[in-house]
Chain A
Amino acid sequence: MGDIYENSHITIAATASHDSNGGLFSSDRPVTSRLEKHPHLYVRASPEMFPTYADAAVPASMPLLTRAWVYQERKLSQRTVHFGKHQVYWECQTGFASEDSEQDAMWNTYTADLENSIGLDWGDKCVDYKTYWHKTVKEYTSLQMSYESDRLPAIAAVVDRMSRLQRVDDIYIVGLWKDSILSDLLWSTHDNKPRPVRVAPSWSWVSAQNSMISWDGYQFTKETKVVSLEYTVVGPANLGGVTNASIILMVPVLNLTGFDELDSAANDDFWWATRFQDISKAAAITEQFRQSNLGIYHSWFSPDYDLTTANPPFECGCTVKLLVARTSGADIGGIVVQQISKNAPEYRRIGFLRVNLRKTEHKGIGKITKKEPTRTATAEEMEKETARLIQPLPMEEVKII
């Protein structure tokens, strides 16, 4: 279906219409009034801004731009003319224009500008396909979808184009690309939505249903390797559907054992809430942190979904591990996985942990309290320190399903 939009001369977008009865043309003009003292001057309400792709705040007058299905129609079209409530907008592979010229712009197709650029940067010239895909998923997952089962189909035409033009020899697996899988695995979400049924392997962002996904610059260490990646393909390649998928990583691991000492009898929502806050604290009381001269300044655990809806529910006494990754600065963190059941060889991904570190003068103290003096270390110093913290961690093979 994607080639239909790609080959078309122009796409006409009913941007302001909620359904097929709304029409394209609007007689609605912005409120204007004449200035009393200067009768030749008029003022009008400031026009609504045309939203950027990753903009969570799409104006209510542009319902079309909130729909996930429309994302690829827009991305693939050569040129689109948007019929808005107050004016007409033009969007093509080169630039953007509107009747009032308020946001007229030319796109950049270069990686450095990907984050800031407002729109249709196809990025055929963009070298960093990995970043480009992360940006695509972030934009796409910020949109609304009526049926969660459409999650992979509604982006398939974009995938198709990428595998045709950019990632020719690559393989697409449930929303991730094989060539960049170590980086693609490091997604996270803040949405905490329920997960009634399992639709994808827990390591794929597709499993975090209805959630906005992003990548925050985390990378696995260069020692981290994919030991095996197994799956059975279901359906066409551009959908990336799989069953029986598992991935085995050889990765530095931090066992998060500290939080498991809570009273497991009170198994209610509150208990869950405290339990997962404790995941972020657990890192602080591990031996590695005790021995280093780094303190945790701030740490935050983002569950992949509302973990109280986990199916099967969590058992107490299952091992929880942090598969350690880091940013280029003073942050460590990574994927948090939990054993499927006691003594099971498999793990499922449950969330993402971020830990911001500061150097402390007091050796042997894990968590920095407010009274302790902290010294601002230089970026290079911090990078070395965090590397020193990760370096002695045991490398383990972890199988995630």
Chain B
Amino acid sequence: MIQEWKTNCMQHHKHCMQRKADPLPKRILEITTEYVFLRERPRNLAPYACLSHCWGLNGPAVKLTARTFGRLRDGLKACDLPKTFRDAVEVCRRLGIYYIWIDALCKDF
């Protein structure tokens, strides 16, 4: 269903931006079969997704900090991410999008 909406939007909506590839933000998560990797200053163009979510009272269990930076860069198993992030990664995979920007994991805190 989502794929169908997306195809329709990409093909028929003249008010929606129709770029096939986007300049990637300065930090982004790359999605592979099992892992997500934090990429810095990627040079390539590729479609990416963003996650819009509630932080809740305490915020997500995993955040980008000086301590977690190395772990995220070396790759984190998608199944170790908080559930909302994990699900979003799964949606990306199914839509054929291999980059996702999640504020908690891509912004400095």
Q: Mark B31-64, 1 if CB is under 8 A from A, else 0.
A: 0000000000000000111111111111111000
Q: A8 touching B91 by the CB < 8 A rule?
A: no
Residues of B within 8 A of A81 (CB): 2, 5, 91
Most chain A CB inside 10 Å of its own CB: which residue of B1, B52, B95: B52
- Per the bound structure, the CA–CA distance linking A1 and B103 in Å amounts to 9
Q: A88 touching B2 by the CB < 8 A rule?
A: yes
Chain B nearest CB from A300 CB (Å) reads: 36
Q: B15 touching A20 by the CB < 8 A rule?
A: no
Q: A14 touching B84 by the CB < 8 A rule?
A: yes
- Per the bound structure, the CA–CA distance linking A73 and B54 in Å amounts to 12
- Does A293 count as interface, using CB distance less than 8 angstroms? no
Q: Mark A7-32, 1 if CB is under 8 A from B, else 0.
A: 11111111001111111110000000
Residues of B within 8 A of A109 (CB): 15
Q: Mark B75-109, 1 if CB is under 8 A from A, else 0.
A: 00000001111111001100101001100100100
- Does B66 count as interface, using CB distance less than 8 angstroms? no
Q: Pick from A94-102, A219-227, A236-244, A332-340 the stretch touching chain B.
A: A94-102
Residues of B within 8 A of A63 (CB): 54
- Does A214 count as interface, using CB distance less than 8 angstroms? no
- Per the bound structure, the CA–CA distance linking A257 and B107 in Å amounts to 55
- Per the bound structure, the CA–CA distance linking A334 and B22 in Å amounts to 47
- Per the bound structure, the CA–CA distance linking A24 and B17 in Å amounts to 26
- Per the bound structure, the CA–CA distance linking A79 and B49 in Å amounts to 10
Name the residue of chain B whose CB is nearest to the CB of A90.
B5
- Does B73 count as interface, using CB distance less than 8 angstroms? no
Q: B48 touching A17 by the CB < 8 A rule?
A: no
Q: B13 touching A12 by the CB < 8 A rule?
A: no
- Does B71 count as interface, using CB distance less than 8 angstroms? no
Q: B57 touching A19 by the CB < 8 A rule?
A: yes
Q: Mark A55-67, 1 if CB is under 8 A from B, else 0.
A: 0000000011001
Q: B104 touching A79 by the CB < 8 A rule?
A: no
Q: B50 touching A20 by the CB < 8 A rule?
A: no
Q: How many residues of A contact B (CB 8 A)?
A: 43
- Does A4 count as interface, using CB distance less than 8 angstroms? yes
Known: A19-B55, A21-B83, A88-B2. A11 touches B50 (CB 8 A): yes
- Per the bound structure, the CA–CA distance linking A95 and B6 in Å amounts to 12
Q: B52 touching A74 by the CB < 8 A rule?
A: yes
- Does A131 count as interface, using CB distance less than 8 angstroms? no
- Per the bound structure, the CA–CA distance linking A5 and B19 in Å amounts to 14
- Per the bound structure, the CA–CA distance linking A381 and B51 in Å amounts to 56
- Per the bound structure, the CA–CA distance linking A245 and B54 in Å amounts to 35
Known: A21-B84, A88-B2, A99-B1. A77 touches B16 (CB 8 A): no
Residues of A within 8 A of B88 (CB): 12, 14, 24
Known: A8-B22, A73-B52. A19 touches B60 (CB 8 A): yes
Q: A13 touching B56 by the CB < 8 A rule?
A: no
- Does A255 count as interface, using CB distance less than 8 angstroms? no
- Does A320 count as interface, using CB distance less than 8 angstroms? no
Q: B52 touching A12 by the CB < 8 A rule?
A: yes
- Does A80 count as interface, using CB distance less than 8 angstroms? yes
Q: A20 touching B85 by the CB < 8 A rule?
A: yes
Q: B23 touching A10 by the CB < 8 A rule?
A: no
- Does A78 count as interface, using CB distance less than 8 angstroms? yes
B50 contacts which of A8, A18, A67, A99 (Cβ < 8 Å)? A8
Name the residue of chain B whose CB is nearest to the CB of A76.
B50
Q: B52 touching A78 by the CB < 8 A rule?
A: no
- Per the bound structure, the CA–CA distance linking A17 and B9 in Å amounts to 26
Q: A11 touching B83 by the CB < 8 A rule?
A: no
Chain B nearest CB from A110 CB (Å) reads: 12
Residues of A within 8 A of B58 (CB): 19
Q: A24 touching B97 by the CB < 8 A rule?
A: no
Name the residue of chain A whose CB is nearest to the CB of B85.
A20
Residues of B within 8 A of A (CB): 1-2, 5-6, 9, 13-17, 19, 22-23, 25, 47-61, 82-88, 91-92, 95, 97, 100-101, 104, 107
The 8 nearest A-B residue pairs measured at CB: A19-B56, A9-B47, A24-B87, A20-B60, A94-B13, A20-B82, A23-B83, A14-B53
Residues of A within 8 A of B (CB): 1, 3-5, 7-14, 17-25, 63-64, 67, 70, 73-74, 77-81, 83, 88, 90, 92-95, 97, 99, 109, 122
Sample 29 A-B pairs with CB under 8 A, ordered by A number.
Answer: A7-B25, A8-B48, A9-B97, A11-B52, A12-B51, A12-B88, A18-B56, A20-B53, A20-B54, A20-B59, A20-B60, A20-B83, A21-B56, A21-B83, A22-B83, A64-B52, A70-B54, A74-B52, A77-B52, A78-B16, A81-B5, A81-B91, A88-B1, A90-B2, A90-B9, A94-B13, A94-B16, A95-B13, A109-B15
